[in-house]
Amino acid sequence: MKNIKMKIEYDGGRYLGWQRLSNSDKTIQGKIENILTNMTGTKVEIIGSGRTDSGTHAKGQIANFKTDSTMAFTDMLDYLNRYLPQDIVVKKLEEVPERFHARYNAVGKTYSYRIWNNTIPSAFERNYSYQYPDKLDIDKMNEACEKLIGTHDFIGFSSLKKSKKSTVRTIDEIKIQREGNIIRFTFTGNGFLHKMVRIIMGTLLDIGAGVMESEYIDTIFKSGVRSQAGETVPAQGLFLEEVYYTK
């Protein structure tokens, strides 16, 4: 039996997120599993590196599945991209050791978030960014990023309730790049809690707009209270860029 690792790109706009639902076929996992099942003639389950929420995009989601199929990988890739909807694309297939598990073995991820920073909307960016019309102070946001980087309990920046599962994560790097009216934020870390990137983004926007001081990040870390952080920004600006594995 082969264990196959796949790299997947999707425009999440039309979907209810990554994870398969029994009552809807509007999920990325569901779409891919159905086609793999048709292709191989036996029921296939795929393991994603993690869920992405409804509306979130991916440029480099990673998943794996096991199959007895002897089909060549180039034929498999052709088959998948012929039958998948055009907003889901399998970019790459490769055989990996039997023990490889896309979720358990993931050691880090990069997400990006795109802001359209102008008072006039954009016809082309509307589905791939969040319009924020006010002026943003990039220096202040970078100051706040310095406080976010490192190992912290991020429960205040997540939609999770307190539980026994650890909510400690490490953010290695946050980059902020402006190109024209787009401000692109990239977050690299060992893992991200549910809605963590979008809540951090909402907080950074408050700081960039001057309605919150960057010192307040420490207060949120100390209290762990979600309501002290910024809003959850919309999913359409969020992209899962890359998932990292050790060699």
Residue bearing tokens 């976010």: 148
Stretch that binds its own copies, among 31-39, 89-97, 157-165, 199-207 (CB under 8 A): 89-97
Compute how many residues bind its own copies; rule: CB under 8 A: 21
88 contacts its own copies (rule: CB under 8 A): yes
Cβ-Cβ contacts under 8 Å for 150 (sequence gap 6 or more): 170, 171
111 marked ligand binding residue: yes
Give exposure, 121-136, as e/b (b: 16+ Cβ within 10 Å): eeeebeebbbbbeeeb
| List 25, 53, 139, 206, catalytic entry | 53
Report CA torsion sign: 49, 194, 219, 221.
negative
Q: Which is nearer to its own copies, 104 or 124 (CB)?
A: 124
Using CB under 8 A as the binding rule, whether residue 241 contacts its own copies is answered as no
State the nearest-atom distance from the C-beta of 8 to its own copies, in Å: 9
3-state SS class at 96: strand
Instruction: Candidates 3-11, 97-105, 167-175, 195-203: pick the segment binding its own copies (CB under 8 A).
Output: 3-11
Q: Which residues contact residue 78 at a Cβ distance below 8 angstroms, ignoring those fewer than 6 apart?
A: none
Task: State in angstroms the smallest separation of the CB of 212 from its own copies.
Answer: 27
> DSSP code of 120?
S
Q: How far is the CB of 91 from its own copies (least distance, A)?
A: 6
The binder of its own copies chosen from 71, 89, 96, 209 (CB under 8 A):
89
Q: Which of residues 105-134 bind its own copies (CB under 8 A)?
A: 120-124, 126, 128
Active-site residue, 206 included: no
* Residues linked to residue 239 through DSSP beta bridges, in sequence order: 57, 112
Per-residue interface string for the shown chain with its own copies, residues 37-76, x marking contact by CB under 8 A? --------------------x-x-----------------
Among 67, 81, 159, 228, interactor with its own copies by CB under 8 A: 81
Q: How many CB atoms lie within 10 A of CB 156?
A: 22
Q: Find the shortest distance in angstroms from Cβ 199 to its own copies.
A: 25
Structural tokens at position 245: 């594995």
CA distance 135 to 117: 7
- Pick the closest to residue 201 from 160, 240, 234, 166 (CA basis): 234
Among 87, 143, 153, 213, contact with its own copies (rule: CB under 8 A): 87
Is 179 a binder of its own copies (CB under 8 A)?
no
Residue 25 burial (C-beta neighbours within 10 Å; 0-12, 13-18, 19+) = exposed
- Which two three-digit tokens encode residue 34? 């159905």
Could you list the residues known to form a binding site for substrate, using ranges: 111
Q: Which residues are catalytic?
A: 53
Could you list the residues known to form a binding site, using ranges: 111
Which stretches of the chain bind its own copies, using CB under 8 A? 9-11, 57, 59, 77, 81, 86-92, 120-124, 126, 128
